[in-house]
Structure 1
Amino acid sequence: MTPLEETTNNQRHAADPARSVFVMANAGSGKTRVLTNRVARLLLAKAPPEKILCITFTKAAAAEMAERLFSVLGEWALADDEKLLKELAELEGPGAPEKTADDLRAARRLFARALETPGGLKIQTIHSFCESVLRRFPIEAGAPPGFAVVEDAQAAALMNASLDALAANAGDDDMLAAAFDRLSLKRNEN
Protein backbone atom coordinates (compact mmCIF):
# COMPACT_ATOMS: atom_id res chain seq x y z
CA MET A 1 0.00 0.00 0.00
CA THR A 2 1.43 3.39 -0.97
CA PRO A 3 1.61 6.23 1.59
CA LEU A 4 -1.20 8.03 -0.27
CA GLU A 5 -3.41 4.92 -0.22
CA GLU A 6 -2.65 4.43 3.47
CA THR A 7 -3.57 8.05 4.24
CA THR A 8 -6.79 7.77 2.21
CA ASN A 9 -7.66 4.53 4.02
CA ASN A 10 -6.96 6.11 7.44
CA GLN A 11 -9.12 9.12 6.55
CA ARG A 12 -11.94 6.85 5.39
CA HIS A 13 -11.77 4.93 8.70
CA ALA A 14 -11.78 8.21 10.66
CA ALA A 15 -14.88 9.31 8.71
CA ASP A 16 -16.72 6.09 9.62
CA PRO A 17 -19.47 7.06 12.09
CA ALA A 18 -19.42 3.54 13.57
CA ARG A 19 -15.93 4.23 14.96
CA SER A 20 -14.93 6.47 17.83
CA VAL A 21 -11.96 8.53 16.70
CA PHE A 22 -9.85 11.53 17.62
CA VAL A 23 -8.46 13.39 14.62
CA MET A 24 -5.31 15.43 15.18
CA ALA A 25 -3.08 16.50 12.31
CA ASN A 26 -1.20 19.42 10.80
CA ALA A 27 -2.94 22.23 8.95
CA GLY A 28 -3.89 21.30 5.40
CA SER A 29 -3.75 17.57 6.05
CA GLY A 30 -7.46 16.87 5.50
CA LYS A 31 -9.07 17.15 8.97
CA THR A 32 -11.95 19.27 7.68
CA ARG A 33 -12.51 16.82 4.82
CA VAL A 34 -12.56 13.89 7.26
CA LEU A 35 -15.06 15.62 9.56
CA THR A 36 -17.22 16.68 6.62
CA ASN A 37 -17.23 13.11 5.31
CA ARG A 38 -18.08 11.82 8.78
CA VAL A 39 -21.12 14.10 9.03
CA ALA A 40 -22.18 13.17 5.48
CA ARG A 41 -21.96 9.49 6.40
CA LEU A 42 -23.98 10.08 9.57
CA LEU A 43 -26.66 11.76 7.47
CA LEU A 44 -26.57 8.90 4.94
CA ALA A 45 -27.07 6.48 7.84
CA LYS A 46 -30.30 8.37 8.60
CA ALA A 47 -29.05 10.19 11.71
CA PRO A 48 -31.42 13.11 12.36
CA PRO A 49 -29.55 16.32 11.40
CA GLU A 50 -30.68 18.05 14.60
CA LYS A 51 -28.98 15.29 16.66
CA ILE A 52 -25.53 15.83 15.11
CA LEU A 53 -23.08 18.11 16.90
CA CYS A 54 -19.78 18.86 15.21
CA ILE A 55 -17.25 20.90 17.17
CA THR A 56 -14.11 22.56 15.83
CA PHE A 57 -11.65 24.98 17.38
CA THR A 58 -11.97 28.01 15.10
CA LYS A 59 -14.81 29.97 13.55
CA ALA A 60 -13.06 29.69 10.19
CA ALA A 61 -12.96 25.88 10.42
CA ALA A 62 -16.64 25.71 11.42
CA ALA A 63 -17.64 27.98 8.53
CA GLU A 64 -15.48 26.03 6.06
CA MET A 65 -16.91 22.74 7.24
CA ALA A 66 -20.51 23.93 6.92
CA GLU A 67 -19.76 25.32 3.45
CA ARG A 68 -18.14 22.05 2.33
CA LEU A 69 -20.94 19.91 3.73
CA PHE A 70 -23.67 21.97 2.05
CA SER A 71 -21.64 21.94 -1.17
CA VAL A 72 -21.41 18.13 -1.12
CA LEU A 73 -25.08 17.70 -0.24
CA GLY A 74 -26.03 20.21 -2.97
CA GLU A 75 -23.99 18.26 -5.54
CA TRP A 76 -25.71 15.03 -4.49
CA ALA A 77 -29.14 16.65 -4.88
CA LEU A 78 -28.39 17.42 -8.54
CA ALA A 79 -26.20 14.45 -9.51
CA ASP A 80 -27.34 11.79 -11.95
CA ASP A 81 -27.40 8.19 -10.70
CA GLU A 82 -23.99 7.27 -12.11
CA LYS A 83 -22.20 10.25 -10.58
CA LEU A 84 -23.96 9.87 -7.22
CA LEU A 85 -23.16 6.15 -7.05
CA LYS A 86 -19.51 6.93 -7.75
CA GLU A 87 -19.35 9.65 -5.07
CA LEU A 88 -21.06 7.49 -2.44
CA ALA A 89 -18.75 4.55 -3.23
CA GLU A 90 -15.72 6.84 -2.90
CA LEU A 91 -17.05 8.20 0.40
CA GLU A 92 -17.80 4.82 1.96
CA GLY A 93 -14.96 2.84 0.41
CA PRO A 94 -14.60 -0.82 -0.49
CA GLY A 95 -16.97 -3.25 1.17
CA ALA A 96 -19.83 -0.76 1.48
CA PRO A 97 -23.25 -2.19 0.71
CA GLU A 98 -24.52 -1.59 -2.81
CA LYS A 99 -26.85 1.39 -3.07
CA THR A 100 -30.47 1.01 -4.06
CA ALA A 101 -32.69 3.51 -5.86
CA ASP A 102 -34.17 4.37 -2.43
CA ASP A 103 -30.66 5.07 -1.08
CA LEU A 104 -30.00 7.45 -3.96
CA ARG A 105 -33.30 9.27 -3.40
CA ALA A 106 -32.51 9.59 0.31
CA ALA A 107 -29.02 10.95 -0.46
CA ARG A 108 -30.53 13.54 -2.81
CA ARG A 109 -32.97 14.69 -0.10
CA LEU A 110 -30.22 15.31 2.48
CA PHE A 111 -29.56 18.84 1.21
CA ALA A 112 -33.20 19.84 1.83
CA ARG A 113 -33.26 18.03 5.20
CA ALA A 114 -30.12 19.86 6.32
CA LEU A 115 -31.52 23.22 5.21
CA GLU A 116 -34.85 22.58 6.95
CA THR A 117 -33.28 21.52 10.26
CA PRO A 118 -34.58 23.82 13.02
CA GLY A 119 -31.67 25.95 14.16
CA GLY A 120 -29.56 24.60 11.31
CA LEU A 121 -26.84 21.99 11.45
CA LYS A 122 -24.83 22.31 14.65
CA ILE A 123 -21.32 22.92 13.34
CA GLN A 124 -19.69 25.25 15.82
CA THR A 125 -16.62 26.09 17.84
CA ILE A 126 -15.98 24.69 21.29
CA HIS A 127 -16.49 28.23 22.62
CA SER A 128 -19.91 28.68 21.00
CA PHE A 129 -20.98 25.22 22.20
CA CYS A 130 -19.97 26.03 25.79
CA GLU A 131 -21.74 29.38 25.53
CA SER A 132 -24.94 27.64 24.38
CA VAL A 133 -24.77 25.26 27.36
CA LEU A 134 -24.23 28.18 29.76
CA ARG A 135 -27.17 30.05 28.21
CA ARG A 136 -29.43 27.02 28.71
CA PHE A 137 -28.30 26.39 32.30
CA PRO A 138 -26.96 29.67 33.71
CA ILE A 139 -28.09 29.12 37.31
CA GLU A 140 -26.63 25.61 37.48
CA ALA A 141 -23.34 26.91 36.03
CA GLY A 142 -23.20 29.86 38.42
CA ALA A 143 -23.47 32.37 35.58
CA PRO A 144 -25.84 35.32 35.60
CA PRO A 145 -28.81 34.82 33.27
CA GLY A 146 -28.41 36.96 30.16
CA PHE A 147 -24.63 37.15 30.55
CA ALA A 148 -22.57 38.67 27.73
CA VAL A 149 -19.48 37.06 26.27
CA VAL A 150 -16.46 39.33 26.22
CA GLU A 151 -14.68 39.32 22.86
CA ASP A 152 -10.87 39.16 22.73
CA ALA A 153 -10.37 42.86 21.94
CA GLN A 154 -12.79 43.87 24.69
CA ALA A 155 -11.06 41.53 27.17
CA ALA A 156 -7.66 43.02 26.32
CA ALA A 157 -9.02 46.55 26.80
CA LEU A 158 -10.51 45.60 30.19
CA MET A 159 -7.22 43.98 31.25
CA ASN A 160 -5.24 47.07 30.25
CA ALA A 161 -7.66 49.37 32.09
CA SER A 162 -7.38 47.18 35.21
CA LEU A 163 -3.58 47.20 35.03
CA ASP A 164 -3.57 50.98 34.57
CA ALA A 165 -5.79 51.38 37.65
CA LEU A 166 -3.53 49.01 39.58
CA ALA A 167 -0.44 50.95 38.51
CA ALA A 168 -2.03 54.24 39.55
CA ASN A 169 -2.64 52.89 43.07
CA ALA A 170 0.54 50.83 43.43
CA GLY A 171 2.73 53.71 44.60
CA ASP A 172 0.93 53.97 47.96
CA ASP A 173 1.35 50.30 48.91
CA ASP A 174 4.74 48.53 48.84
CA MET A 175 3.26 45.02 48.58
CA LEU A 176 0.92 46.10 45.79
CA ALA A 177 3.78 47.81 43.96
CA ALA A 178 5.91 44.63 44.17
CA ALA A 179 3.02 42.48 42.94
CA PHE A 180 2.36 44.91 40.10
CA ASP A 181 6.05 44.83 39.11
CA ARG A 182 5.96 41.01 38.92
CA LEU A 183 2.72 41.13 36.94
CA SER A 184 4.19 43.69 34.54
CA LEU A 185 7.29 41.53 34.00
CA LYS A 186 5.15 38.46 33.28
CA ARG A 187 2.97 40.47 30.91
CA ASN A 188 6.01 41.73 29.00
CA GLU A 189 7.36 38.17 28.67
CA ASN A 190 4.24 37.15 26.78
Structure 2
Amino acid sequence: MMNDATRAQVRAADPAGSTWLSANAGSGKTRVLIDRVARLLLQGTEPQRILCLTYTKAAASEMQNRLFTRLGEWAMLPEPKLHDALADLGITGSIDAGALASARRLFARAIETP
Protein backbone atom coordinates (compact mmCIF):
# COMPACT_ATOMS: atom_id res chain seq x y z
CA MET A 1 0.00 0.00 0.00
CA MET A 2 1.39 3.40 -1.02
CA ASN A 3 1.60 6.31 1.37
CA ASP A 4 0.83 9.88 0.26
CA ALA A 5 4.50 10.71 -0.37
CA THR A 6 4.95 7.65 -2.57
CA ARG A 7 1.78 8.47 -4.52
CA ALA A 8 3.10 12.00 -5.09
CA GLN A 9 6.42 10.57 -6.31
CA VAL A 10 4.61 8.25 -8.75
CA ARG A 11 2.61 11.22 -10.09
CA ALA A 12 5.81 13.30 -10.43
CA ALA A 13 7.45 10.46 -12.37
CA ASP A 14 4.67 10.48 -14.98
CA PRO A 15 6.18 11.98 -18.15
CA ALA A 16 2.72 13.01 -19.38
CA GLY A 17 2.96 16.18 -17.32
CA SER A 18 5.50 18.69 -16.12
CA THR A 19 6.81 18.57 -12.59
CA TRP A 20 9.08 20.51 -10.26
CA LEU A 21 11.15 18.59 -7.71
CA SER A 22 12.47 20.34 -4.65
CA ALA A 23 13.24 18.42 -1.48
CA ASN A 24 15.89 17.65 1.11
CA ALA A 25 18.79 15.31 0.44
CA GLY A 26 17.85 11.66 0.62
CA SER A 27 14.16 12.26 -0.01
CA GLY A 28 13.95 10.39 -3.32
CA LYS A 29 14.42 13.09 -5.97
CA THR A 30 16.87 11.00 -8.00
CA ARG A 31 14.58 7.98 -7.78
CA VAL A 32 11.69 10.05 -9.14
CA LEU A 33 13.84 11.23 -12.05
CA ILE A 34 14.99 7.67 -12.78
CA ASP A 35 11.36 6.50 -12.63
CA ARG A 36 10.43 9.25 -15.08
CA VAL A 37 13.18 8.25 -17.53
CA ALA A 38 12.21 4.58 -17.18
CA ARG A 39 8.60 5.43 -18.00
CA LEU A 40 9.69 7.43 -21.05
CA LEU A 41 11.69 4.43 -22.24
CA LEU A 42 8.75 2.10 -21.61
CA GLN A 43 6.58 4.40 -23.74
CA GLY A 44 8.99 3.93 -26.64
CA THR A 45 11.01 7.14 -26.41
CA GLU A 46 14.43 6.58 -27.96
CA PRO A 47 17.18 6.89 -25.33
CA GLN A 48 19.09 9.45 -27.42
CA ARG A 49 16.02 11.75 -27.31
CA ILE A 50 16.08 12.02 -23.50
CA LEU A 51 18.06 14.87 -21.99
CA CYS A 52 18.82 14.92 -18.27
CA LEU A 53 20.78 17.84 -16.85
CA THR A 54 22.71 17.73 -13.60
CA TYR A 55 24.99 20.13 -11.79
CA THR A 56 27.94 17.74 -11.61
CA LYS A 57 29.47 14.86 -13.54
CA ALA A 58 29.19 12.79 -10.37
CA ALA A 59 25.43 13.34 -10.28
CA ALA A 60 25.13 12.43 -13.96
CA SER A 61 27.12 9.26 -13.36
CA GLU A 62 24.96 8.37 -10.36
CA MET A 63 21.77 8.81 -12.39
CA GLN A 64 23.14 6.67 -15.22
CA ASN A 65 24.26 3.95 -12.79
CA ARG A 66 20.88 3.86 -11.07
CA LEU A 67 19.02 3.68 -14.37
CA PHE A 68 21.25 0.91 -15.71
CA THR A 69 20.89 -0.98 -12.43
CA ARG A 70 17.10 -0.73 -12.64
CA LEU A 71 16.96 -1.81 -16.28
CA GLY A 72 19.43 -4.63 -15.61
CA GLU A 73 17.23 -5.88 -12.78
CA TRP A 74 14.20 -5.82 -15.07
CA ALA A 75 16.05 -7.97 -17.60
CA MET A 76 16.53 -10.68 -14.96
CA LEU A 77 13.39 -10.54 -12.79
CA PRO A 78 10.86 -13.38 -12.94
CA GLU A 79 7.65 -12.32 -14.71
CA PRO A 80 5.50 -11.79 -11.58
CA LYS A 81 8.16 -9.59 -9.95
CA LEU A 82 8.70 -7.59 -13.16
CA HIS A 83 4.94 -7.11 -13.43
CA ASP A 84 4.88 -5.80 -9.84
CA ALA A 85 7.88 -3.52 -10.51
CA LEU A 86 6.12 -1.95 -13.50
CA ALA A 87 2.89 -1.54 -11.53
CA ASP A 88 4.83 0.10 -8.67
CA LEU A 89 6.30 2.49 -11.22
CA GLY A 90 2.77 3.68 -11.96
CA ILE A 91 2.20 1.87 -15.23
CA THR A 92 -1.54 1.63 -15.65
CA GLY A 93 -3.64 -0.58 -17.83
CA SER A 94 -2.67 -4.00 -19.02
CA ILE A 95 0.88 -5.15 -18.38
CA ASP A 96 0.90 -8.04 -20.83
CA ALA A 97 3.64 -10.36 -22.09
CA GLY A 98 4.59 -7.82 -24.78
CA ALA A 99 5.05 -5.06 -22.21
CA LEU A 100 7.18 -7.35 -20.04
CA ALA A 101 9.35 -8.34 -23.03
CA SER A 102 9.76 -4.68 -23.97
CA ALA A 103 10.83 -3.80 -20.42
CA ARG A 104 13.41 -6.61 -20.51
CA ARG A 105 14.94 -5.25 -23.75
CA LEU A 106 15.42 -1.72 -22.39
CA PHE A 107 18.75 -2.52 -20.73
CA ALA A 108 20.32 -3.54 -24.05
CA ARG A 109 18.86 -0.48 -25.81
CA ALA A 110 20.12 1.87 -23.12
CA ILE A 111 23.69 0.58 -22.96
CA GLU A 112 23.98 0.70 -26.76
CA THR A 113 23.07 4.40 -26.78
CA PRO A 114 26.03 6.80 -26.69
Aligned match of 1:97 in 86, 93, 96? 93
- Pairs within 5 Å for 1:25-174: 25-92=23-90, 96-117=92-113, 119=114
Greater radius of gyration (CA): 1
Structure 2 stretches lacking a partner, 5+ long:
none
Greater per-residue strand proportion: 1
Displaced runs of 4 or more, over 6 A? none
Does the 8 Å contact 1:43/1:49 carry over to 2?
A: yes
Contact 1:44 1:106 (8 Å CA) reproduced: yes
TM-score normalized by structure 1?
Answer: 0.57
**Distance in structure 2 (CA, Å) of the matches to 1:41 and 1:113:** 14
State the distance in 1 between where 2:62 and 2:80 align: 27
Task: Give the C-alpha shift of residue 91 in structure 1.
Answer: 0.7
Structure number with higher relative contact order (C-alpha < 8 Å, ≥ 6 residues apart): 2
**Contact 1:76 / 1:107 at 8 angstroms: preserved in 2?**
yes
What amino acid is the match of 1:104? L
Q: Which amino acid aligns with 2:44?
A: K
Post-superposition shift, 1:59?
Answer: 2.2
Q: What RMSD, in angstroms, separates the aligned Cα atoms of the two structures?
A: 1.2
Cα deviation 1:114-147 (Å, max 9, x = unaligned): 0111x2xxxxxxxxxxxxxxxxxxxxxxxxxxxx
State the TM-score, normalized to the length of structure 2.
0.94
Question: What letter is aligned with 2:111?
Answer: L
Following the alignment from structure 2 to structure 1, what is the Cα–Cα distance between the partners of residues 12 and 74?
Answer: 22
Identity, in percent, stands at 56
Question: Number of matched residues?
Answer: 113
